[in-house]
Structure 1
Amino acid sequence: MTPPLVTAVVPTRNRRELTLRFLARMAAQTYPALRIVVVDANSSDGTVAAIRQQHPPVTVVAAGDREFWAGATNRGVRRALAAGTDYVLTINDDAVVAADYVERMVALAQQHDCAILGSRIDLLAEPGRIWALGTSTDWGTERFLRLAHHDDLASQLEPAVAQAEVLEAEAMPGNGVLIRQDVFRRVGLYDARWLPHYHADSEWVMRAVRRGLTAKVTPAIALLNDFGEAQKRLPLGSLRGLLFTFFHPKSHLYLPAVAAILWRYCPPDQRWPTLRALAGRFLRMKG
């Protein structure tokens, strides 16, 4: 029986060494029907030339340098769907995965009929310490999109979670998510207009769930993420920093993205408490 075709979609910009490390891991995957589409957002560090030299089977798609995560990922998804893929795997170039990662994700998705299956994401610097096991909503608080089991040790998860093959999730980060191709036809692509970078992944899953699909995440298959909290540290000490915080697409407090999430998904009676909590968080960050 022919295995389903999986296309990994990987956005990148000026991260040559991370991208090459990632592609080396993907080249070693045990899954036989895997294609890779790297969407390069106008890199100036030789990323594209290095990919073509070291990984010629990889498809490189060009994106503008202001398309950010959602726009670049959409380009890759369109290319994958046009080529007849069965699954799209959205994954970032700073991910580190085991050789059987794709094989296990496909097997689990088919076993449980998962239209959307997310990975457990651990910290690369401390494997076994969870960065996210899906995302949950917590309206009325400053962290209305809360990473589930953030900073927990996998070895200390409660048995009902640790022993589950899959768990339902309200949303999830887009790093290591296996998506059946028909879901995009039902749900559409990522919202690159209002959520160009942060929260586009969560919003897409929330949209799918609202349309009757079930999103699941697995505690059993971990992806290691080269992530540090400094990546979300915001430059609040100047007017320029304040403008970046609220009006630059690469800020996780980008106002259009936050407003889109609240307007579409937050219960009306929780919108004001959520905004008030966010204002309090901002004042503490300034203090």
Structure 2
Amino acid sequence: MTLPLVTAVVPTRNRCQTTLRFLAAMAGQTYRALRVVVVDANSSDGTVAAIRRQHPQVTVLAAGDGDFWAGATNRGVRRALAAGTDYVLTINDDAVVPADYVERMVALAQRHGCGILGSRIDLLAEPGRIWALGTRTDWGTDRFLRLSHHDELASRLDPALATAEVLPAEAMPGNGVLIRREVFGRVGLYDARWLPHYHADSEWVMRAVRRNVEAWVTPGVVVLNDFGDEQKRLPLGSLRGLLFTFFHPKSHLYLPAVALILWRYCPPSQRWPTLRALAGRFLRMKR
């Protein structure tokens, strides 16, 4: 039986050792029908040369400074689809995964017919503490693209959740998401114009769900995320910091991205209550 071809798409910039750690994990995967495409955004730390020297089988594409996550990922997805992949795996260069990670994800996706299957994401510093099991939004409140089960211990999840092979999701982070190629034909690529970095992953899944593509996450297959909450902490104490917070594409409060998601997906009757709730949340952050 021929295995479905999986292509991992990995954006990176100036994280040579982190990227090499990830590629070593990919090289050790038990799933053999696996290709890796690294999309490098003008790294100046020798990333590209190191990849070509240590992992010559990996495809390296060049991205521009303005591509950010969505633009870089789109470049990799286009290359993967053109090369005939059956699945695209979007995953970050700082992800840490076990050797059977891809094999288990493909098995679950095939068993349950998942066009979109996200991983559970735990903190690398504390495996078993969940960073995200999908994301959700409660319109009319300040719970906008909140990480589901964030900071919960996996051992304390409701048994019905913990033992489920897959769970329905309305959105999810893009770190460790297996996507069948046909889904891109129905949904398109990530919206790099309006959501260049944060929330492009969740918006794409929301768009897919709106187009009747079911999205799922699995609590049993884990990506360890080399990430701390301090990395999303914003400089709110100065005018320059506020400008970054609301107008820099690498801020998770980047106004064009937040506004677009509100406009596209929030029920009209809930837009004003949601805006009011988000404004209150921001004011609490400033204290």
Structural mapping, 1:23-42, within 5 Å: 23-42=23-42
Displacement after TM superposition at 1:286 (Å):
2.1
Counterpart CA distance in 1 for 2:230 and 2:54 is: 31
Residue 171, structure 1, aligned to residue 171, structure 2: yes
Counterpart CA distance in 2 for 1:146 and 1:280 is: 16
Counterpart CA distance in 2 for 1:279 and 1:167 is: 31
Displacement after TM superposition at 1:215 (Å):
0.3
Tell me which residue corresponds to 1:138.
138
Tell me which residue corresponds to 1:122.
122
130-139 or 184-193, which moves further after superposition?
130-139
Tell me which residue corresponds to 2:71.
71
Displacement after TM superposition at 1:131 (Å):
0.5
Q: In structure 2, the residue corresponding to 1:61 is in which secondary structure? A: strand
Please, what TM-score do these two structures have when normalized by structure 2? Answer: 0.99
Counterpart CA distance in 1 for 2:128 and 2:23 is: 23
Displacement after TM superposition at 1:282 (Å):
1.8
266-275 or 115-124, which moves further after superposition?
266-275
Residue identity (%): 85
> Which consecutive residues of structure 1, in runs of 5 or more, have no partner in the other structure?
none
Counterpart CA distance in 1 for 2:88 and 2:60 is: 16
Match of 2:11, as an amino acid? P
Displacement after TM superposition at 1:143 (Å):
2.8
Displacement after TM superposition at 1:226 (Å):
0.5
Counterpart CA distance in 2 for 1:136 and 1:285 is: 20
Counterpart CA distance in 2 for 1:245 and 1:66 is: 18
Q: In structure 2, the residue corresponding to 1:38 is in which secondary structure? A: strand
Tell me which residue corresponds to 1:102.
102
Match of 2:54, as an amino acid? Q
CA-to-aligned-CA distance 1:28-47 (integer Å, 9 cap, x gap): 00001000000001111111
Residue 195, structure 1, aligned to residue 195, structure 2: yes
275-284 or 73-82, which moves further after superposition?
275-284
Give the CA RMSD over aligned residues.
Answer: 0.7
CA-to-aligned-CA distance 1:236-272 (integer Å, 9 cap, x gap): 1111111000000000000000000000001111111
CA-to-aligned-CA distance 1:146-180 (integer Å, 9 cap, x gap): 11111111111101101100000000000000000
Match of 2:228, as an amino acid? G
142-151 or 17-26, which moves further after superposition?
142-151
Tell me which residue corresponds to 2:249.
249
Counterpart CA distance in 2 for 1:165 and 1:286 is: 40
Match of 1:43, as an amino acid? S
Q: How many residues align?
A: 287
Q: In structure 1, the residue corresponding to 2:99 is in which secondary structure? A: coil
Counterpart CA distance in 1 for 2:227 and 2:266 is: 28
134-143 or 3-12, which moves further after superposition?
134-143
Please, what TM-score do these two structures have when normalized by structure 1? Answer: 0.99
Q: In structure 2, the residue corresponding to 1:42 is in which secondary structure? A: coil
Structural mapping, 1:255-274, within 5 Å: 255-274=255-274
Match of 2:229, as an amino acid? E
CA-to-aligned-CA distance 1:169-199 (integer Å, 9 cap, x gap): 0000000000000000110000000000000
> Which consecutive residues of structure 2, in runs of 5 or more, have no partner in the other structure?
none
Tell me which residue corresponds to 1:240.
240
Counterpart CA distance in 1 for 2:58 and 2:283 is: 46
Tell me which residue corresponds to 2:153.
153
Displacement after TM superposition at 1:278 (Å):
1.4
Counterpart CA distance in 2 for 1:283 and 1:151 is: 23
Counterpart CA distance in 2 for 1:159 and 1:282 is: 35
Match of 2:154, as an amino acid? A
Counterpart CA distance in 1 for 2:227 and 2:32 is: 29
Counterpart CA distance in 1 for 2:286 and 2:215 is: 37
Displacement after TM superposition at 1:142 (Å):
2.1
CA-to-aligned-CA distance 1:63-121 (integer Å, 9 cap, x gap): 00121000000000000000000000000001000000000000110000100000000
